[in-house]
Structure 1
Amino acid sequence: MDEGERERALLTVLTTEHYALQTSRAGTIAEATGRATIFLSVLSAALIGLGFVASNDKLVRPYLAAVLPTLVVIGVLTFLRLVETTVENSLDLRRIQRIRAYYQHELAGEHDFFADAVVADDAMSTAWNLVGTRPGRWEFLLTTAALVGAVNAVLSGLGIALVATTVGAGGALTVVVGVLVAVVAFGVQFAYIVRASAAPMR
């Protein structure tokens, strides 16, 4: 195989890989949306059910005792998978940028096509600039994983507050404990998002 044939074959392979990576990114986004929708739908159904039993003191506590742990478990599992899809999406985007950088270097010539894809030292920053995002830890607050993590934190705080009420804690103490648990729970989840996403950012 001469040099020209090799270059044509490589371009064909890269074009196919580019398409596969774009499809993979679309898949991660669709999965993240679907999983978040399922979780929020379950949460909505639980709140509707709570409305039916709220007037019956004998049913409220057993209902919450059964539903809250279930929601937290579903929420945590959803959160973990959403973090994975965020990482997968970042890796796919970085690989796409490398392919686009090849297009720019080998094919663009004097034109400025794919000029934004030139891989610099900070390749991940270059990749995220493609979609108008500045990489940074606070940007992760806008992810679907952070959204579900916030709901998980509220549910955890509510559950602990209800337990505190059951054991006879005062109203003010119950609120303080619930808020602290919610804040800590969200902080732990956010730290996990940042740590899990650190590898693709290198």
Structure 2
Amino acid sequence: MALEQDKQPLSEKEDNSTQSVIQQNTDMDQPSIVAMMTTEHYNLQSGRAMTISESNGRSGLFLSTVSTALVALAFIAQISKLGTEFYVFALILLPSLFFIGLVTFERTVQVAIADITYARGINRIRHFYIEVAPQIADYFVQPYYDDETSVYGSEGATASWWPIFLTTSGMIAVIDSVIGGTLIGLLAYRFLALSLPISSLFGLFAFIALLILFLRYQWTRWGNAQRQLKTLFPRPKQ
């Protein structure tokens, strides 16, 4: 008899083990579940703090680099009287600044996606708290639904296109577009022998084109990230 039990197929043993674990989880007392959810809430909140810290650090590094570089460029312009030395220095400096801005923009977009993902997870946990204790719903000032409108609402924003300018990555996009437009205008003025107004128009068009590309890329990345996250607890329609 014992031999027959030992010959039980491995798949059946695994199924029985899985069912046993599920039964244990089902029978778990509510305080233990609340404790686990509270721990996860803390982990998500810590993750959000880390994303904010990294975003501030990277944007601060970029802005300080741009500020220092512009001061150095002004000194070179004064010393060389806008001669060849100025153009050589500018054509080395501006592409470097543009590259730093490009990688800073990409990373701040990634960090923003992670932050909004953590925010959605926190909203889901709040919804769990309401399920456990519905009487505390009136004491919550933050949304406890995980639809896109509720998640952005917890940030004081709206799910539309214009708040993209208020984000760290949006700010980096504008500044980096200015740097790119300045570089294009400088190249047109120096190597195409165009007049200053025409070169400025080249720079302006380059600025607008770069800004559109940056913001469209950011909007697309955000949209893709939102579509990958299923809404489990949408806000009821009123």
User: Same-fold call, TM > 0.5?
Assistant: yes
Tell me what 1:90 maps to.
116
1:28 is matched with: 51
TM-score by length of 2: 0.79
Q: Report the CA distance shift for 1:115/1:46 in structure 2 as closer, same or farther (over 3 A).
A: closer
Residue in structure 2 matched with residue 133 of structure 1 by the alignment: 157
Which string of whole-angstrom CA distances, capped at 9 and with x for unpartnered residues, describes residues 105-156 of structure 1? 1123375233753427xx1211222232222121111101010110111111
* Aligned twin of 2:234: none
Residue 183 of structure 1: aligned partner: 208
Unaligned runs of 5+ in 1: none
From 56, 62, 66, the counterpart of 2:88: 62
Q: Is residue 159 from structure 1 mapped to residue 183 from structure 2 by the alignment?
A: yes
Q: How far did residue 50 of structure 1 move?
A: 1.0
**Cα distance in 1, alignment partners of residues 163 and 106 from structure 2:** 18
Structure 1 pair 51/90, CA: closer, same or farther in 2 (3 Å)?
Answer: same
Residue identity matched to 2:163: E
Moved more, 45-54 or 182-191: 45-54
Worse-superposed segment, 127-136 or 99-108:
127-136
Is the alpha carbon distance of 1:153 and 1:2 closer, same or farther for their aligned partners in structure 2, counting shifts above 3 Å?
Answer: closer
* Unaligned residue ranges in structure 2 (runs of 5+): 1-23, 228-238
Measure, in 2, the Cα distance between the counterparts of 1:125 and 1:95.
14
Contact 2:109 2:169 survives alignment (8 Å): yes
1:171 aligns with 2:196: yes
User: Once superposed, what is the RMSD of the aligned Cα atoms?
Assistant: 1.8
Q: Percent identity?
A: 26
Partner of 2:11: none
Query: 1:148 and 1:163 mapped to 2: Cα distance?
Result: 22
> How many residues were matched structurally?
200
